[in-house]
Amino acid sequence: MIFSLQFSIIMIYFIIIILIGIFAKKFVKNSFDLLVAGRNLGLTLTIFAIAGEWLGGTSTVAVGQWAYEYGISPMWYNISTSIGILIFGLTWATLYRRKKIVTIPEMLERLYDKNLRIIAAVFFIAAYLFLSSVQISSIGSLFSGALNININTAIIIAGLGITIYTLAGGMFSVALTNFIHVLVIWFSLGIAYFWYMNKVGWYPGITAKLNALSGTEVVSLSGANALNPLGMGTSEVLAWIIGGIAGAFAAQASVQPIFAAKDTQTAKKASFLAPIIIAPLGIIVTTIVMASVALNGGYASLDTRLALPLALMKIPNSLMGGFAMAGVFAAIASTEALVLLGMATMFTKDIYQKINKESSDKKIALITRINILFAGIISIIMALTTKKLPVATYLNYAMRSSAFIILAAGIYWAKPSPKSAIISIISAFLVVGIWYGFYVYKGNYPFGFDVVFACILISIITLFLSTFLIPGGRRRLTPKELLEG
C-alpha cells in the first residue's frame, strides 16, 4: 500500500463529499424532500444533477478501458447520451414534470395499469444494478490505481462511502454534491488533457507514436485505428448510439432531477443545457488514455479497467495528477449516488407503497434509506465480479431501450394494452439474461447480434403481436387524454 499525494487528495475530497451529503440531511423534512428535493431544484442544480448522472464511471473509467483497446471511438457513449437528453428535452421533459410523477414505472402505470408498474420497477431495478456495479467497480479501479491496493478491497471501501452520503440526504445530497462534482471533473480532467496533448504532440503525435510502438511492444491500439470514430466496429457504435438515445428517455437516475425541478420550464431548459457539459468529456477521456498508451506502451495490460486511473497517476506533477484523479472520483460518485437513489425510489414508491398503502411518511423515508443501503451492498457484491465495464453498462441500456419502446407506444399509440406491455417487458428481460449468459460463456453475443438491438427488436415484435393477438384489458389513459391532461 502506497500513501501518495494523489491518494491523499482523493481521500480529502471523498471525506468532504461525505460531509456535504450528511449536511444536506438538514434540508430533508419528509420523504418528498428525500426523493425529489421537494420539487424545488432551480435551473443550475437541475442541470448539474442531470450532467452528474451521465458523467460517471462509464464515461470515465469504462470509456477509458475501451479507449485503451479501440482509441477514440468510445466517445460515442457521451455523444449519444447527450443527443438522447436533448431530444428528451424537446419532447417528454415537460410532460414528465407536468404529470408530477416520481418514477418511470409510475408513468407506465398512468399509461397502462398498476400491474405493469410493479413489473417495470423490478425490471428497472435489475437494469440499474448492472450500471451500479460498473460505477462501484470503476471507483475501486481508481482507488486501486492510486493506492496500489487490491481492487476488491478498494471496491468495498468506495462503495460503502458513496452509499453513506446518498442515504443521508437523498436528492438534496445528490444535487449539492453533483454541483461540486461537475466543476471538479471539468477543471481537473481538462488540465490532464492539455498536459498529455502538449507532452505527446497532439493528435498527429499520438498517431505517430502508436505506429512506432506497433512493431516493438504488445499494444493492441494501432495508430491507424486510434482516431477512427468507428474503431469499435460500425455495429458496436450504432448499438451505442441507439442505446444511448433511447435509454435517456427511460433513465430513472437522470430523469429524477427533472422530477425535482421547480417547474416545467426549469425541467425543459435543464435538458437542453446539460448535454453541453456531457458530450465533450468522452473525447477528453479517450484522448488521455490514447496519449498515455502512446507515451507508456502497454501500461495497463494486466487490468484494462485501470487504463484511465494509471494514466493519471503517470502525470509527474503529483498535485495535478491528484486533482485529475479526484475529478474521476467526482464523475463516478455523481452517477452512483443518483443510481442508488433511483433504485431505492422505485422500490419504495412502485413496490413497497403499492403493498403498504397506509405507511406513514416517516416510515417511507426510513424504507427508502434502507433500500439505498441494500442497493449499495448488492452493487458492491456485483462489482467484485464485473470485469468488462462497458458490457455491463450496455446491458442496462438495452433494458432501458426496451422500456422506451413501451413508453413511446403508450404515449403515441392507443392500441397496446397493459397485457401486451407486460409481455413485451418480460420478453426483453429474458433476452438480456440469455444474451448476457452467452457473453459470459462465449465472450460474444449470440449470432454477433448486439444486446441493444436484440432487446429493442424483441420488444417491438412482442408488443406488436400481442397487441393484435391477445386481449389485454383496458388502458388507464389514451394518448389524447395523456397529452391534453
Using an 8 Å Cβ cutoff, are 287 and 121 in contact? no
pLDDT beyond 80 at 418? yes
In-domain check, residue 410: no
Rounded Cα distance between 280 and 445, Å, is 30
pLDDT beyond 80 at 200? yes
DSSP code, position 56: S
pLDDT beyond 90 at 287? yes
In-domain check, residue 409: no
Q: Is 222 exposed, middle or buried (0-12, 13-18, 19+ CB in 10 A)?
A: middle
Neighbours of 66 (CB within 10 A): 25
Q: 3-class SS at 41?
A: strand
User: Which pLDDT does position 58 carry in this prediction?
Assistant: 74
Task: Please report the sign of the dihedral spanned by the C-alpha atoms of residue 437, residue 440, residue 446, residue 452.
Answer: positive
Span of 75-84, 175-184, 271-280, 293-302 with lowest mean pLDDT: 175-184
In-domain check, residue 394: no
In-domain check, residue 372: yes
User: Which pLDDT does position 284 carry in this prediction?
Assistant: 92
Higher pLDDT, 2 or 211: 211
In-domain check, residue 485: no
Q: 3-class SS at 99?
A: coil
Amino acid at 255: V
Q: Mean pLDDT throughout 192-198?
A: 91
Q: 3-class SS at 261?
A: strand
Residue-averaged pLDDT of the chain? 77
- What φ, ψ does residue 3 adopt, rounded to 5°? -90, 90
Rounded Cα distance between 340 and 368, Å, is 10
pLDDT beyond 70 at 246? yes
Neighbours of 31 (CB within 10 A): 25
Supply the CATH number for residue 229's domain.
1.20.1730.10
Name residues whose C-beta falls within 8 Å of residue 234's C-beta, 6 or more positions apart in sequence: none
User: Which pLDDT does position 165 carry in this prediction?
Assistant: 63
pLDDT beyond 80 at 16? no
In-domain check, residue 440: no
* 32-42 pLDDT, tens digit each: 555 555 556 77
* 59-105 pLDDT, tens digit each: 777 888 888 888 888 898 888 888 888 888 888 777 777 777 777 88
Half-sphere exposure of 86 (CA within 13 A, CB side): 12
- How many folded domains does the chain comprise? 1
CA nearest to 151, candidates 162, 140, 138: 140
When computed from its CA atoms, the radius of gyration of the chain, rounded to whole angstroms, is 22
In-domain check, residue 373: yes
What is the extent of the structural domain holding 157? Answer: 5-389
In-domain check, residue 483: no
Q: Which residue in this structure is represented by grid cell 389485454?
A: 472
H or E stretch including 439?
helix 418-442
Q: b vs e for 350-363, b when ≥16 Cβ sit within 10 Å of the residue's Cβ?
A: bbbbeeeeebeeee
pLDDT beyond 80 at 213? no
Rounded Cα distance between 473 and 183, Å, is 50
* 120-174 pLDDT, tens digit each: 888 888 877 877 877 777 777 766 766 666 777 777 877 777 777 666 555 556 6
